[in-house]
Structure 1
Amino acid sequence: MTGLDALYQELILDHSKRPHGKGLGDDAGRAATSHQRNPICGDEITLRVRLTDDGARVSEVTWEGAGCSISQASASMLASLVAEEGGMTRAEASVLIDGFREALRSRGGIALDEETFGDAAALSGVSKFTARVKCAMLAWVALEDALARA
């Protein structure tokens, strides 16, 4: 295992043990919720996205879930990334989701950029294991669905 692989593995374990955004809270205000389940392995995520009053920006992403360390870490990384620095616009979040999906479907051909994806770049290696791609994508699909509902 290379030093970078070891660092990435440590980031995934850290996020799964000490998750960001875990706990749904209430659904007051401008919020939408999505529940996603991976039928292959049983991982589940319920994600709530809260938007600013004008509906233009994501102000908070919270979630509850159960499953493997990859699905739980991915949800934690997503929650940190999307709501940081005043939150992303809906369009920025959609572009982020599309880029993540493209990289994870690339079978190792596209690495996630650390500047764009932050800690979630640690999930780049998952793309080489097709059985794990759905685990990593679960929260991202839930965010996409919640944004469409909001």
Structure 2
Amino acid sequence: MKRDEEFFKKIKKAEKTAQYAMFFTSLATILLLLSIYDPTLSIFNSQEKLYEEVLVDEDRIENGIHVRTGLKDGKGLMTVVNNCTNCHSAKLVTQNRMNAERWNETIKWMQEKQNLWQLGENQEIIVNYLVENYPVNQIGRRMTLSNIDWYELKD
């Protein structure tokens, strides 16, 4: 007898859980259909507006820096952004400080080996931007060590 009561309690609990699941599934379906029928009723509108605002502001310049990429503002910036950052990070561009000849060689290599499209007139604009804003560093990765008291390691 007690065993039957426990079984029926479990059945009732399962039925209640199934009812809740059906209710929330129906509610989600109704909300989805309403948002498809009339997008202004969507519960995601406020998030969509925030996303749209980000898209509008993605190419803004603050303190002389292009916010999205971190590149310096200058003549040819958007040509660099539109042609270089489609395939790789702007950091990859800025860490490779080269002269015009080396940039042109690198672009030729990317075209031959990495399927970079022909840049046409944009190549000169890109190279000029990079040479002007990210010139070759005359200083290496660190200063040369001087006045060091060297010692020999003993085995």
TM-score, normalising length: structure 1: 0.31
Larger Rg over CA atoms: 2
Higher strand share: 1
More RCO (CA 8 Å, sep 6+): 1
TM-score, length basis structure 2 = 0.31
